[in-house]
Amino acid sequence: MANIAAQRIQREFREVIKSEEVAKCHIKLELKNDEYTELKGEIAGPPDTPYDGGVFQLDIIIPETYPFNPPKVKFITKIWHPNISSVTGAICLDILKDQWAAAMTLRTVLLSLQALLSAAEPDDPQDAVVARQYKEQQSVFRQTAKHWTYIYAKGPHREAELEAKVSQLRGMGFEEHKARVALSTCDWNIQRATDHLIS
Amino acid sequence: MDSEEEMYDESEEEEVSDDDHNMVMEPEVSSTTATYDSQDETYPHEVLSPEMIVQHMIDCIKDVNTIVELPATITRILLNHFKWDKEKLIEKYYDGDQEKLFAEAHIISPSRRGQASGSSNQVSVSSTTRSTRSRAAATGRSADCEICFSTLPTTVMTGLECGHLFCEQCWSMYLTSKILHEGISETISCPAHVCGILVDDATVMRLVRDQRVRLKYQHLITNSFVECNRLLRWCPAADCGRAIRVNYVDSKPVTCTCGHRFCFSCAESWHDPVKCFWLKKWVKKCDDDSETSNWIAANTKECPKCQVTIEKDGGCNHMICRNQSCKADFCWVCLGPWEPHGSSWAALQRYLHYCNRYMNHMQSLKFEHKLYAKIKAKMEEMQKHNMSWIEVQFLKKAVDVLCQCRQTLMFTYVFAFYLKKNNQSIIFEDNQRDLEQATEQLSEYLERDITSDILIDIKQKVQDKFRYCDTRRSVLLAHVHEGYEKELWEYQGSL
């Protein structure tokens, strides 16, 4: 079984390298070892989304039973999205679970993840905090997601106002990422974020 | 040909070049015949051996096929879709939209199948390559398999009626992975993305060569047949492998050929007088509370704080550790802090009262099974002392009655736990007490007095006692049943 998995990844890898998406820098795939069991994926944030201009890295583990079972994929780059855990990078996407089909490929997975960034499914959330914000405060959500893209995924949009708030909490002695998570969680209300960090 | 490996009669199959492809199944004619337990005559049931289960499944398919005239493996998928309710299938098949029915059951309607497949349920290689729905890029005589990404001759490409083609090797690995690693059988679909068309048995048998996988597949199919079918239930006894078949579902006792007697409705040991619903609630409660009730077994405990061993010398369960450096304040029963206790104490005591008795009878029942061996030896000995075979049978009968009484008593405590106090419940408790006393006396006679040498004396004593027990047990059950009919019982806790 391991044989077909490796063989398939080899062939898939060659296809992806040649594909037009790679040419346009939309997706990228790299091998992490010679056994074809671990790969690094990369997707560009889709245009007209808060992720536009960002580059998101993914950890891909190929199970022995691939392609009959889906690859294990998670985000390495921190991201603010209702279907992706802001803590672990775990992804909630049907094709990575029960809707996986043997005829799908890593290319289709990467493209599906890109599609997920364009169209979140807040009713089927992985990260309940982000999903709530997405549904209740769309503009705060977009700003937060842009800010995270800028900080963690080399995005182009600086959110100066948000950065100032993070610095303010850092000045109080909180660690930067923790401060950002608390502020993001509390819709950038400094007082509530501080309480959140203390409790 | 190993008969266990084969499943359906596929006389219509086109590719019969390889004998192994043929799926003629002739189940062994089993020596196990249908048995009706005289005790449970009011509820007719039949014990099916593993071979008979397969035969029964084939018969069901044949029955339906005389009417709908579809390939057997398609009928199997349809029947599975309707949880093996033949009438419902036939009703929907003739009254409703057939196309919709096939779509819901995840099969391609036979009317839309390629002409080449005709009456066959199997996609022959030539028919699928002709299919225009094929997603595989058929270029001349070779095509790409979307699973292994190899370019292969079209002759090794195959698929279901949906027309998605993959190479035979990938199909085999795909099916093996689903059957062996995921343990699924009747819900395996075409490996193409968003194609839900189900794989039929003939395809599995055609593409999987490994005997181990084929056997596992057949076990899974049989299992789903029994589990989906309302009128069938696996015998819950360990390693039994037989199933019970009934004509209508009821919470009544059934007896398997292995001797296990259980409730058809909930599969627990036969639990008269308590109803399935309350027993289920009770079993769950016991599981949840097992920590609290375990204290009964132990005489000493350790202080939850300083771990010093403590013996409780009486009275209240509010413990204060005497270890001067500790002085922990805790509850003897749960070993948790004392604080949350108090009013809930009475409820716990009440539960423990019933739980204790339930557990005691369950434990004793286990011991009584050992008694059979002892009694048998005794019976042989008595026959040597000029008693006839027929004269010593009373002993076995006595143990039978004892076990029945224990079992009934066990469940009376579950029944009583949920019962609200009223005039009828007082009568019930009197009956219960009376039966319990008599049962304990009978138990004592059989345990001890049987060793005495004056056999004639004890024969009378034992016979009188077990007859009394038997009568009292009937009286108790009749009273409970009467109460069910006349709705005399009131329950604590919601239904």
* Average pLDDT of the segment spanning A80-85: 92
Tell me which residue of B283, B285, B367, B291 sits closest to B333, measured CA to CA: B291
The per-residue pLDDT for B2 is 44
Domain co-membership, A25 together with A51: yes
> Could B147 and A104 be called an inter-chain contact, meaning their C-beta atoms sit closer than 8 Å?
no
Share of chain B above pLDDT 90, in %: 15
Angle ∠(A48,A52,A56) on CA atoms, nearest 5:
140
The per-residue pLDDT for B367 is 82
How many other β-carbons are positioned within 10 Å of the β-carbon of residue A87? 11
Residue A103 falls within a domain, yes or no?
yes
Task: Answer yes or no: is pLDDT of B296 > 50.
Answer: no
Choose between B380 and B112: higher pLDDT.
B380
Nearest beta carbon to residue B149 from set A12, A65, A101: A12
Residue A26 falls within a domain, yes or no?
yes
Q: What is the largest CA-CA distance in chain A?
A: 56
Domain co-membership, A109 together with A136: no
Residue A191 falls within a domain, yes or no?
yes
> Could A15 and B149 be called an inter-chain contact, meaning their C-beta atoms sit closer than 8 Å?
yes
Domain co-membership, A113 together with A143: no
- Pick from B3-12, B268-277, B364-373, B382-391: least confident: B3-12
Domain co-membership, A109 together with A154: no
Does a cis peptide bond (omega within 30 degrees of 0) precede residue B273? yes
pLDDT-derived band at A160 (thresholds 50, 70, 90) equals: confident
> Could B147 and A101 be called an inter-chain contact, meaning their C-beta atoms sit closer than 8 Å?
no
Residue A135 falls within a domain, yes or no?
yes
- Cβ-Cβ contacts under 8 Å, A101 against chain B: 191-195
Domain that holds residue A143: 128-198
The per-residue pLDDT for B340 is 60
Contacts of B85 (CB under 8 A, 6+ apart): B230
Nearest beta carbon to residue B147 from set A67, A69, A108: A67
What chain B holds in terms of domains, given with CATH numbers, is 3-246 (3.30.40.10), 344-486 (1.20.120.1750)
Domain co-membership, A10 together with A84: yes
The per-residue pLDDT for B468 is 94
- Pick from A11-20, A31-40, B325-334: least confident: B325-334
Of these ranges, B78-87, B285-294, B477-486, the one predicted with the greatest mean pLDDT is B477-486
Domain co-membership, A98 together with A35: yes
> Could A67 and B181 be called an inter-chain contact, meaning their C-beta atoms sit closer than 8 Å?
no
Domain co-membership, A67 together with A134: no
The per-residue pLDDT for A51 is 93
Choose between B30 and B447: higher pLDDT.
B447
The per-residue pLDDT for A14 is 83
Domain co-membership, A136 together with A105: no
CA B83 to chain centre: 17
The per-residue pLDDT for B143 is 85
* Average pLDDT of the segment spanning B442-460: 73
pLDDT-derived band at B128 (thresholds 50, 70, 90) equals: very low
- Cβ-Cβ contacts under 8 Å, A67 against chain B: 147
Using the 3D structure, point to which of A66, A100, A118 is the last residue of a domain.
A118
- Cβ-Cβ contacts under 8 Å, A64 against chain B: none
Task: Say whether B316 is catalytic.
Answer: yes
> Could A8 and B148 be called an inter-chain contact, meaning their C-beta atoms sit closer than 8 Å?
yes
Using the 3D structure, point to which of A66, A96, A118 is the last residue of a domain.
A118
- Write out the two tokens for B464: 């009188």
* Three-state SS at A133: helix
The per-residue pLDDT for B20 is 43
Mean pLDDT of chain B: 78
Residue of A nearest to B188 (CA): A101
Residue of A nearest to B175 (CA): A68
Could you say which residues from 13 to 52 on chain A have a Cβ atom under 8 Å away from some Cβ of chain B? 15
Residue of B nearest to A69 (CA): B177
Q: From CA B450, how far away is CA B281, in angstroms rounded?
A: 40
Share of chain B above pLDDT 70, in %: 75
Give the pLDDT confidence of B322-374 residue by residue, as tens digits. Answer: 776 777 777 766 677 766 655 456 667 778 788 888 888 888 888 887 888 88
The per-residue pLDDT for B405 is 92
The per-residue pLDDT for B27 is 43
> Could A103 and B148 be called an inter-chain contact, meaning their C-beta atoms sit closer than 8 Å?
no
Give the CATH number for residue A104. 3.10.110.10
> Could B147 and A69 be called an inter-chain contact, meaning their C-beta atoms sit closer than 8 Å?
no
Task: Answer yes or no: is pLDDT of A57 > 90.
Answer: yes
Residue A123 falls within a domain, yes or no?
no
> Could B173 and A15 be called an inter-chain contact, meaning their C-beta atoms sit closer than 8 Å?
no
Domain co-membership, A58 together with A16: yes
DSSP letter (8 states) at residue A70:
P
Give the pLDDT confidence of A107-158 residue by residue, as tens digits. Answer: 889 999 999 999 988 888 888 889 889 989 999 999 999 999 999 999 888 8
Residue A20 falls within a domain, yes or no?
yes
Distance (Å) from the alpha carbon of A30 to chain B's nearest alpha carbon: 19
The per-residue pLDDT for B134 is 43
Whether chain B has a CB inside 8 Å of the CB on A67: the answer is yes
* Average pLDDT of the segment spanning A80-103: 88
Number of domains in chain A: 2
Task: Look at the block and give the residue holding tokens 């019933």.
Answer: B354
Using the 3D structure, point to which of A118, A152, A175 is the last residue of a domain.
A118
- Cβ-Cβ contacts under 8 Å, A107 against chain B: none
Domain co-membership, A16 together with A111: yes
**Interface contacts A/B by beta carbons within 8 Å:** 45
The per-residue pLDDT for B494 is 55
Identify whether the C-beta of residue B395 lies closer than 8 Å to the C-beta of residue B462: yes
Give the pLDDT confidence of B44-94 residue by residue, as tens digits. Answer: 889 998 889 989 998 988 888 888 888 888 888 888 888 888 888 888 888
Provide residues of B within 8 Å CB-CB of chain A: 146-150, 164, 166, 170, 173-174, 177-178, 181, 191-195
Angle ∠(A27,A28,A31) on CA atoms, nearest 5:
150
User: Of the residues B167, B316, B331, B403, which is catalytic?
Assistant: B316
The per-residue pLDDT for B350 is 78
> Could B193 and A104 be called an inter-chain contact, meaning their C-beta atoms sit closer than 8 Å?
yes
Identify whether the C-beta of residue A27 lies closer than 8 Å to the C-beta of residue A111: yes
- Cβ-Cβ contacts under 8 Å, B136 against chain A: none
> Could A103 and B178 be called an inter-chain contact, meaning their C-beta atoms sit closer than 8 Å?
no
Domain co-membership, A113 together with A168: no
Cα torsion A168, A169, A171, A176: sign: negative
Nearest beta carbon to residue B147 from set A1, A95, A102: A102
Nearest beta carbon to residue A4 from set B148, B191, B194: B148
What is the DSSP code string of B402-470?
Answer: HHHHHHHHHHHHHHHHTBPPSHHHHHHHHHHHHHHHHHHHHHHHHHTGGGSS-HHHHHHHHHHHHHHHH
